[in-house]
Structure 1
Amino acid sequence: MGATNSVPEQIADELSKAVREYGLAFVMVASYFGSGSVFIASQAGVMHGYTLLWAVVGAVLLGIMAQDMSARLGIHGEPLMVFVRRKLGRVPATGIAVFLSIGCIAWCLGLVAAVGAGVSFLTGGTIAWQPVAIVTTVLAIGVGLLDYQRIEQLMVVMMVSLMVLYLVVAGPSNPDLGAVALGFVPTSDALGALTIAAGLLGTTALWPNFFLESILVEEKGWADESDVSNARRDLTIGFTVGGITTVAILIVAAAILRPMGYTELESFITPGEALVEVLGTWAMVLFVAGVTVAAFNSIIPIMWTPAYIVPQAMDIDVDQGTRAFKLVFVAVTATGFASPLVSHLLDLQVVDMVILFPTYNGIFGLPLAALLLYWAVNDRETMGQHRNTTALNVVNAFLVLLAFILAVFAAQDFLEVLFGGGF
């Protein structure tokens, strides 16, 4: 008889099997759960208390809905940008791809700055964030060129670790449970928080994922109707982890920072400084370490997006092993080198960058991408009998409508903050 595996080996085998089967959503969640999510959730808690907890839940649900559309498009039809090129032609599709890629570059600038600021703090300020941002850009390029399976496994481990870290910090914060419960119900108070709500939506229902999911379902071997249920379970698991983590961060900010008199995040380490006073140094270290890891996690899948969609718009077939993909990925990710310069020219602190640049994408990138995705899953030629049902259209149309409404109401405030030296 052959030797049986030990219990730890059996557990490891089961975990490995689960990662292989349900890891794609963690790549999607890791891409949205960067430093922007951490600080937008913190800013929401500081400025508006528990008022926007409903927006976190709504953003998670809308993110799942959007990713479900994208997964079904990839399984039954074709990648989203391939659809756009086929319908509009190469020149308009390339214009759209380049416009959307500007948003990815903005994200990259903020994310490498966040990693730099996190490492600078954790080293006691002996290294400024600017040179660390340069090194981070180099590392992101190297990691992003690894094969997909390695990246997926890394994202699963990192996202579960982040959830645990933030729950550990949230536990001792002693929030008002009644106020927390009320925060899950939209009220008139939310009308004064639309810019932050747009940021929460833009960093959760992440438009690059609309393109990536439709491409990467092939990596999971999902190719027919029977695989749709697997994709939906995958999305539910991944987005639940991301949603719980976001709620924990918002609650910490509302329970600790707001009562201490904070009305905004004055610097990158403001949340950590307040945590030290109440919970001790350990909370500060966990918070900043979590922000740093989350920021680096996000760089890779976000910057994969231009590397896929720009060549696809130009009718170039790409995967992660092709020369065109690698060239575009390296080129757009290398814009991270300019992060210190952008911070200086716009007079923005790191915390401003990590909040504003995801918000930019929520206002300008999300409505366009959501509209394209909605068009694709309703196209008879592309989806055939698998196009959206009436019920799905009602639900999915809400994502498109909400994206446009928030964009219209939040755009002016966003521009004032961006060119006014930050929050």
Structure 2
Amino acid sequence: MNLIENTPLEGFFDEYGLGFVMVASYFGSGSVFIASSAGVQYGYALLWAVVAAVVLGFIAQYISARCGIFGKPLMTFVHDRLGAPTATAIAVVLSLGCVAGGLELTAAVGKGISVLLGGAGYSVGWMPLAVLCAVVAVVVGILGYDAVEKVMVALMFGLLIAYVVVAGGSSPSVAGMVGGMVPRIPELGALALIAGILGTTALWPNFFLESILVREKGWTDEAALPAMRRDLGMGYAIGGVVTVAIVVATAAVLRPAGITEITTYITPGRALADILGEWALVLFLVGSIVAAFNSIVPIMWTPAYIIPQATGREIDDTDRVFRAIYAVGTAVTGLSPLVSILFGLSVVDMILLFPAVNAVVGLPITTVCLLWAANSSTLLDEYVNGWILNTVGAILVVLSVVLAVSSAQSVVGAITGGGL
């Protein structure tokens, strides 16, 4: 029995919630650690990158939602224009990026649980826990969209409260925060972090999912646009505030204490502990574990949708093909211990580097496809992009390509060279 059936809360989820799912999918361990790394390395200097990424991510998902409402899912459009072989090749390349993200997330969950159990007096390595995480994610993911939406929304509000309290209590420099909103690159090494911020905030799998899942909400005509905008606006506002709060808290607490890099899994949690007390490390661990696990599901839904769509097949989350691709892809993410061993990467290395891989590969491809679809009169008729949306879309395309080119060598070098 649904305990919230016919209640105001159920009504809220009937109308909203998709934006929170999209934001919760990007707000995993990568966002927490990348934002923390930005704070300890460069203080408030990269706050502008967080705000820019939130704005670009919101508008890109708004464009993708319009494609789904007035036309077709983004990958279906790619199939119709390029044909099955080329579309399938693109879908497979993009799906490899999803697997890379999943590897990072299972490792983060395994490490978090391992540290949490260690604090309770139990010694369990992160590697078997990462494998177990992938198995559980397979089961949870095939339960469907409604089964995970409410958990993600609750998580977003919980993280918002915790990090905003800490950021406010850390006595941050107002002048530093204002200065951090002025776009600048402190040094060339910051490019990889900027790419990571963009890659974890303007998360390209969400652009495909948004164009697919809008119809799950019943958003199929122009009357749905206000609700869709409010939904995305609320979700991105919360995600952006949380990310800014993490940068501010680590810049105000950890950097003055001499911490200038994220070396261990619990380093970002020190900002919470210094303000709220040692018990807050448990809060950090639980929050990061749940955030990472929740991110696995929507990220790994993406290959399950786009690979069949690239072949010309209509798909939904009850389809056997969807569930098979999701199950296999998610099971592969359980190989994060093997990746760690083969490449000599720590869990923190994977958390910081693998989101940047998606920024280098997946984001440029997806933004080009998205802008192409949004200007197709065959697909959208009178609802093609206007000049404002095209301007922002073009900025996202150029920015993603420039960041990909400028940061690719350092990202790949760090992965193949044994980490940061």
TM-score, length basis structure 1: 0.95
The corresponding residue for 1:64 is 58
Q: Which region of structure 1 is more displaced relative to structure 2, 257-266 or 163-172?
A: 163-172
Secondary structure of 2:268's aligned partner: helix
The corresponding residue for 2:411 is 414
The corresponding residue for 1:316 is 313
Q: Residue 172 of structure 1: CA displacement?
A: 2.4
Whichever residue aligns with residue 109 of structure 1, its letter is L
* Residues 254, 270 of structure 2: 8 Å contact kept: no
Whichever residue aligns with residue 67 of structure 2, its letter is L
1:211 matched to 2:208: yes
Percent of aligned pairs sharing the same letter: 53
The corresponding residue for 1:47 is 41
Aligned counterparts, 1:104-123, within 5 A: 104-123=98-117
Q: Residue 243 of structure 1: CA displacement?
A: 0.5
List structure 1 segments (4+ residues) > 4 angstroms apart after TM superposition.
Answer: none
* Residues 303, 329 of structure 1: 8 Å contact kept: yes
Q: Residue 26 of structure 1: CA displacement?
A: 0.7
Secondary structure of 1:44's aligned partner: helix
The corresponding residue for 1:395 is 392
* Residues 198, 410 of structure 1: 8 Å contact kept: yes
Q: Which region of structure 1 is more displaced relative to structure 2, 354-363 or 158-167?
A: 158-167
Question: Separation in 2 of the partners of 1:21 and 1:279?
Answer: 36
Question: Separation in 2 of the partners of 1:207 and 1:178?
Answer: 33
Q: Which region of structure 1 is more displaced relative to structure 2, 273-282 or 261-270?
A: 273-282
* Residues 253, 274 of structure 2: 8 Å contact kept: no
Question: Separation in 1 of the partners of 2:265 and 2:211?
Answer: 35
Aligned counterparts, 1:227-376, within 5 A: 227-273=224-270, 275-276=272-273, 279-376=276-373
Q: Residue 265 of structure 1: CA displacement?
A: 0.7
Whichever residue aligns with residue 59 of structure 2, its letter is M
Question: Separation in 2 of the partners of 1:45 and 1:339?
Answer: 27
Question: Separation in 2 of the partners of 1:134 and 1:116?
Answer: 8
Q: Which region of structure 1 is more displaced relative to structure 2, 388-397 or 34-43?
A: 388-397
Question: Separation in 2 of the partners of 1:137 and 1:49?
Answer: 35
* Residues 305, 322 of structure 2: 8 Å contact kept: yes
* Residues 117, 268 of structure 1: 8 Å contact kept: yes
Q: Which region of structure 1 is more displaced relative to structure 2, 154-163 or 243-252?
A: 154-163
* Residues 165, 290 of structure 1: 8 Å contact kept: no
Whichever residue aligns with residue 411 of structure 2, its letter is F
Whichever residue aligns with residue 59 of structure 1, its letter is A
Aligned counterparts, 1:187-198, within 5 A: 187-189=184-186, 192-198=189-195
**Counterpart pick for 1:15 among 5, 9, 12:** 9
* Residues 19, 156 of structure 1: 8 Å contact kept: no
Change (3 A) 1:148 1:412: same
Q: Residue 191 of structure 1: CA displacement?
A: 5.3
Q: Unmatched 5+ residue regions in structure 1?
A: 1-8
Change (3 A) 1:368 1:281: same
Q: Unmatched 5+ residue regions in structure 2?
A: none
Whichever residue aligns with residue 268 of structure 1, its letter is Y
**Counterpart pick for 1:88 among 63, 82, 105:** 82
* Residues 67, 213 of structure 1: 8 Å contact kept: yes
RMSD: 1.7
Secondary structure of 1:130's aligned partner: helix
Whichever residue aligns with residue 45 of structure 1, its letter is G
Question: Separation in 1 of the partners of 2:371 and 2:226?
Answer: 20
Question: Separation in 2 of the partners of 1:65 and 1:273?
Answer: 34
Secondary structure of 1:186's aligned partner: coil
* Residues 166, 287 of structure 1: 8 Å contact kept: no
Q: Residue 192 of structure 1: CA displacement?
A: 4.6
Q: Residue 398 of structure 1: CA displacement?
A: 0.9
Q: Residue 235 of structure 1: CA displacement?
A: 0.5
Q: Which region of structure 1 is more displaced relative to structure 2, 227-236 or 125-134?
A: 125-134
Q: Which region of structure 1 is more displaced relative to structure 2, 149-158 or 375-384?
A: 149-158
Q: Residue 234 of structure 1: CA displacement?
A: 0.6
Secondary structure of 2:190's aligned partner: helix
* CA deviation string 1:243-288 (max 9, x = no partner): 0110111111111111121221111112224654564212212222
Whichever residue aligns with residue 78 of structure 1, its letter is K
Whichever residue aligns with residue 28 of structure 1, its letter is M
Question: Separation in 1 of the partners of 2:209 and 2:135?
Answer: 23
1:161 matched to 2:155: no
Q: Residue 241 of structure 1: CA displacement?
A: 0.6
